[in-house]
Amino acid sequence: MKNVDDLIDDAAELAERGLSKGEIADELNVSRETASWLVERSGAQPADAGAAPDAGPSGPQDIHVDWSTVGRDSTRMTHIGAAMADLLAKEGEEVDLTVGIEKAGTPLATTIARELDTDLAAYAPAKHQWNEGDIDDVGGGFSRNFATIRGRECYVVDDTVTSGTTLTETVEAVKAEGGKPAACVVIVDKQGLDEVAGVPVYSLINVVGVGRD
C-alpha cells in the first residue's frame, strides 16, 4: 500500500522524466494542486515548474486512486471495460464512437469500444500540453490516428474524475467538433458528478469524503 512518502518519490521520478504537473497528476490520479504539492515536497522540478499552492504541512485534501492492479493485466482490463460498457449499454442505439481521454482513458475506451462495437477516438487534454499560466491559450486535441468526431454520437471515457475539469473539457471539445456526447463513464468519481455540460456521468465507484467540522 502506498503512503504519502511513496507518492512524493513517485512525483519526483515523474518530474525528473520531464513530465508536466498535469501529466504527473494523471499518472498519480490526483489533482494538479496535489501533484504540485508532492513535487514541491520532493524538491524536484516538473517541466512547467512554478510556485506550488500553499497546502499546509499535511498536504491538500485529495484521494489517491491506484488501479494499477487492473491496468497491468489485460484480462482484468477486459473485465473492468465490460463493466463500464454495461453502464453505457442503454444510452442509445445510435452511438457508434467511443472517445478515450489520454492517457489512461484510451486503453479503457478500447475495451469498451470492442464491447459495444463502436469506433475509437482519443483526446489529449490541455493539461498535458500547457506551461504555467498558459492553460487559457492552449487547448487539447484529438489524435489523427483514430476515428474522427464530426456528426457522430459518442461515449467519453476516463479512469478517474478528480475535479471534473478534464471531463468537461473533452465533452466541450467533442461538441465543438460537431459530435454529440451521449454519456461519460469512469472507474472512480471523486466528485460525485451526475453530469458535466449536460451529459450524464456514470462511475463504477463513487468516493464520498466524510469529515468533521
What are the boundaries of each domain within the chain?
Answer: 4-42, 68-206
> Average of pLDDT values for 125-130?
70
DSSP annotation string for 50-81: -PPP---TT--S------HHHHT-HHHHHHHH
* Per-residue confidence (pLDDT) for residue 129, from 0 to 100: 59
CA 139 to chain centre: 16
pTM: 0.74
Nearest to 62 by CA among 27, 90, 35, 92: 35
Q: List, in sequence order, every residue forming a beta bridge with 188; answer none if it has no partner.
A: 160, 205
Query: Where is average pLDDT lowest: 69-73, 128-132, 148-152, 154-158?
Result: 128-132
**At the topology level of CATH, where does 68-206 sit?**
Rossmann fold (3.40.50)
Cell 477516438, residue?
121
What is the rounded distance in angstroms from the CA atom of residue 101 to the CA atom of residue 146? 12
Q: Which amino acid is at 136?
A: D
Cβ–Cβ < 8 Å for 102, 125: yes
Better-predicted residue by pLDDT, 1 or 113: 113
Mean pLDDT for all residues in the chain = 84
Confidence band (pLDDT; 50, 70, 90) for 122?
A: very high
User: Cell for 144?
Assistant: 489523427
pLDDT at 154 over 70: yes
* Per-residue confidence (pLDDT) for residue 52, from 0 to 100: 47
> Average of pLDDT values for 50-79?
75
State the CB neighbour count (10 A cutoff) for residue 150.
Answer: 8
Cβ–Cβ < 8 Å for 189, 204: no
User: Cell for 41?
Assistant: 515536497
State the CB neighbour count (10 A cutoff) for residue 72.
Answer: 9
